[in-house]
Amino acid sequence: MNSSSARRFAGGLITAVSCAYMVIALFYFAWGAFYGLLAALALLAVIVTHWVNMRAGLRGVRPAGFPATLVLQAVATYLPDVLLPAGMSALATPLLAGTLLVYLPLGRAGLLIAAMMAYEGYMIDYGLTFAVITLFYMITIPATGGMIWALVRFVRVTAELEQARAELAEAAVLKERLRISRDLHDGLGRSLTAIALKGDLAARLVDRDPGAARAEVGELVQVAREAAQDVRKVARGYREMSLAGEVDRAVALLESSGVRAQAHLADVKLPERSEQALAWAVREGITNVLRHSRATTCTITTSVRDGAVRLEVANDGAPATPGAANGGLTSLAERAAQAGGSCTTEPTGQGGFLLAVEVAA
Residue 301 lies inside a defined structural domain of this protein:
yes
* Poorest-pLDDT segment among 78-87, 127-136, 151-160, 253-262: 127-136
d(CA 77, CA 91): 8
Report the chain's mean pLDDT, rounded to a whole number.
80
Residue 257 confidence class, pLDDT cut points 50, 70, 90:
confident
Q: Please list, in sequence order, all residues whose beta carbon lies within 8 angstroms of the beta carbon of residue 234, skipping any fewer than 6 positions away.
A: 180, 183, 184, 187
Residue 217 lies inside a defined structural domain of this protein:
no
Residue 320 confidence class, pLDDT cut points 50, 70, 90:
very low
Residue 195 lies inside a defined structural domain of this protein:
no
Q: How confident is the model at residue 324, as a pLDDT? A: 46
Q: How confident is the model at residue 322, as a pLDDT? A: 47
Residue 153 shares a structural domain with residue 246: no
Eight-state DSSP code of residue 307 = T
Does 134 have pLDDT greater than 70? no
Residue that finishes a domain, picked among 107, 141, 167: 167
Residue that finishes a domain, picked among 150, 167, 184: 167
Average pLDDT over residues 348-361: 85
Residue 229 lies inside a defined structural domain of this protein:
no
Residue 174 lies inside a defined structural domain of this protein:
no
Rounded to 5°, angle at Cα 292 from 291 and 294? 100
Range of 262's domain? 242-361
Who has greater pLDDT, 337 or 324? 337
Who has greater pLDDT, 309 or 9? 309
Average pLDDT over residues 150-179: 77
Residue 17 shares a structural domain with residue 119: yes
Helix orientation angle between 3-23 and 33-58, rounded to the nearest 10 degrees:
160
Q: How confident is the model at residue 92, as a pLDDT? A: 83
Question: pLDDT, tens digit, for every residue of 100-112?
Answer: 998 999 889 889 9
Residue 207 lies inside a defined structural domain of this protein:
no
Give the residue among 343, 273, 346, 266 at the shortest CA–CA distance from 309. 266
Alpha helices in 127-242 (DSSP H): 131-208, 210-236
Q: Are 60 and 6 in contact (CB under 8 A)?
A: no
Does 301 have pLDDT greater than 90? yes
Residue 77 lies inside a defined structural domain of this protein:
yes
Residue 155 shares a structural domain with residue 8: yes
d(CA 1, CA 307): 49
According to DSSP, the residues that pair with 343 across neighbouring strands are 357
Question: pLDDT, tens digit, for every residue of 172-212?
Answer: 667 667 766 766 666 667 677 777 877 887 788 777 888 88
Total count of domains within the chain:
2
- Strand pairing category for 308-315 and 352-360: antiparallel
Residue 17 shares a structural domain with residue 143: yes
Q: Output the domain CATH number for residue 288.
A: 3.30.565.10
d(CA 36, CA 23): 12
Cα-based distances in Å from 95 to 41, 68, 145: 17, 16, 6
Helix (H, G, I), strand (E, B) or coil at 297: strand
Residue 44 confidence class, pLDDT cut points 50, 70, 90:
confident
Residue that finishes a domain, picked among 116, 149, 167: 167
d(CA 253, CA 259): 9
Residue 147 shares a structural domain with residue 9: yes
Q: How confident is the model at residue 173, as a pLDDT? A: 62
Residue 124 lies inside a defined structural domain of this protein:
yes
Residue 26 shares a structural domain with residue 125: yes
According to DSSP, the residues that pair with 300 across neighbouring strands are 263, 313
Q: Are 54 and 152 in contact (CB under 8 A)?
A: yes
